[in-house]
């Protein structure tokens, strides 16, 4: 993808680029007060939800177009850039009319290709920065598909927002981070800036600092963090919002490490890693060769491919061994599960030949 910088004039390129503001614009007073406090803390990009996609009816669904006038005031009185969520062509039209600077596509919208295409079509010919949140489900292709739909109408100021993934199971997170998904996104589209949204991943303010630090350690470009002049009274997402003052404190705690490309020591160590990886592939292919021989034997003797007793024995034995060698037993089990899956696949192929 040929992308242009998302850095609007005056935005410092140093990591993290910070976007902050309330989950929802609620009243003119709340918007202006929060914005002024943020501007005092040197925040340059203000976020606020005007239309809110709520999981269930009955919650606060956003103030609507009326709030756009408050955001215009924020822009005029603080000089901050304004970012809002859009979910329909009508939202895009209203946002552009109100001189909004950055648009983002919410997680529920990214999950729906029809909706993303509608937004893309409404944006034809306008080169406004568009940030695309991950879909609610952990589907990297759907995320990339949404990015491509926006790119294909000529928008080149693109960024991704990692806001975590829904899960039925309880966890400390509101939305599971699944860090390997944004890491894989970075591998697939290396020049696409990635922001992290610790507010929606954590779901509670206590988790914002540690999630943000992890994002910085993974070399993310920016953070989008919800803030509110009176967080406990917020009309949506109250538990995860912080005051601008707390935001400033959280940002001051961050340790920003450089991505070192190639110091000498590092390249020596990386060479060793490459050698280990080569050995791993050799060993795995040797193991698969033996598995295929077993496959032939099973076929000749009419034995089932899956021998669960044997499989359990391997998992338990290797997990124990792994622990002795300083590795997490679940990690070892995962590896052997994957190896077993591939062996079974190859043996089934042989049996059915
Ligand atoms: C939001 O940013 O307030 C929001 C609704 O986020 P998401 O789309 O990630 O749920
Ligand atoms: Mn929110």
Q: Which tens digit of pLDDT belongs to each residue from 281-322?
A: 989 999 999 999 999 999 999 988 887 788 888 899 999 999
Q: Which DSSP category does 7 fall into?
A: -
Ligand 1: which of 19, 22, 23 to mutate, most ligand atoms within 8 Å of CB? Answer: 23
CB atoms within 10 A of CB 337: 13
52 and 61 Cβ atoms separated by less than 8 Å:
yes
Beta-carbon neighbours within 5 Å of ion ligand 2: 23, 237
Nearest ligand (C-alpha, residue 160): 1
pLDDT band for position 142 (cuts 50, 70, 90): very high
CATH numbers and ranges of domains, the chain = 17-253 (3.20.20.70), 264-351 (1.20.59.10)
User: Which ligand 1 atom minimizes the distance to the CA of 236?
Assistant: 3
Please tell me the distance from the alpha carbon of residue 45 to that of residue 145, in angstroms, as a whole number. Answer: 26
| Predicted model pTM | 0.80
Q: What is the mean pLDDT of the chain?
A: 95
Q: Provide the phi-psi class of 112: left if phi over 0, else alpha when psi is between -120 and 50, else beta.
A: beta
Reported as a single tens digit per residue, the pLDDT across 225-249 is 999 999 999 999 999 999 999 999 9
Least confident of 4-8, 156-160, 248-252, 262-266: 262-266
User: Which ligand 1 atom minimizes the distance to the CA of 164?
Assistant: 9
pLDDT of residue 267: 81
CA of residue 7 relative to chain centroid, distance:
20
Reported as a single tens digit per residue, the pLDDT across 10-42 is 999 999 999 999 999 999 999 999 999 999 999
Residue 228 Cβ inside 6 Å of ligand 1? The answer reads no
pLDDT of residue 337: 93
Residue identifier of the C-alpha nearest atom 9 of ligand 1 = 107
Ligand 1: which of 103, 162, 197, 211 to mutate, most ligand atoms within 8 Å of CB? Answer: 197
Spacing, Cα 226 to ligand 1 middle (Å): 10
Contacts of 196 (CB under 8 A, 6+ apart): 161, 162, 182, 211, 212, 215, 220, 222, 223, 224
């Amino acid at each position: 993808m040929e992308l242009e910088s998302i850095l609007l004039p005056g935005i410092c390129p140093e990591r993290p680029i910070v976007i902050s503001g309330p989950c929802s614009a609620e009243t003119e007073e709340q918007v202006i007060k929060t914005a002024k406090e943020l501007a005092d803390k040197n925040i340059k990009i203000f976020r606020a939800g005007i239309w809110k996609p709520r999981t269930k009816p009955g919650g606060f669904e956003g103030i609507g177009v009326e709030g756009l006038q408050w955001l215009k005031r924020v822009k005029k009185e603080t000089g901050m850039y304004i970012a809002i969520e859009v979910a329909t062509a009508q939202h895009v039209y209203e946002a552009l009319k109100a001189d909004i600077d950055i648009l983002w596509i919410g997680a529920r919208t990214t999950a729906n290709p029809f909706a993303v295409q509608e937004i893309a079509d409404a944006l034809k010919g306008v080169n406004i920065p568009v940030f695309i949140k991950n879909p609610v489900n952990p589907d990297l292709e759907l995320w990339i598909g949404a990015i491509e739909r926006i790119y294909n109408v000529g928008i080149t100021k693109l960024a991704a927002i990692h806001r975590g993934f829904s899960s039925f199971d309880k966890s400390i997170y509101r939305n599971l981070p699944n860090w390997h998904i944004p890491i894989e996104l970075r591998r697939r589209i290396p020049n696409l800036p990635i922001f992290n949204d610790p507010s929606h991943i954590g779901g509670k303010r206590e988790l914002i600092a540690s999630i943000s630090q992890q994002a910085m350690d993974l070399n993310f470009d920016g953070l989008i963090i919800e803030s509110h002049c009176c967080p406990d009274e917020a009309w949506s997402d109250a538990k995860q919002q912080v005051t601008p003052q707390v935001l400033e404190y959280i940002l001051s705690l961050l340790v920003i490490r450089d991505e070192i490309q190639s110091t000498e020591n590092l390249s020596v160590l990386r060479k060793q890693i490459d050698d280990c990886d080569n050995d791993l592939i050799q060993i795995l292919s040797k193991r698969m060769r033996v598995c295929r021989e077993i496959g032939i034997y099973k076929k000749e003797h009419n034995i089932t491919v899956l021998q669960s007793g044997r499989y359990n024995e391997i998992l338990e034995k290797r997990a124990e061994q792994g622990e002795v060698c300083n590795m997490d037993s679940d990690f070892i089990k995962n590896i052997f599960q994957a190896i077993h899956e591939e062996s079974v696949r190859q043996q089934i192929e042989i049996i059915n030949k």
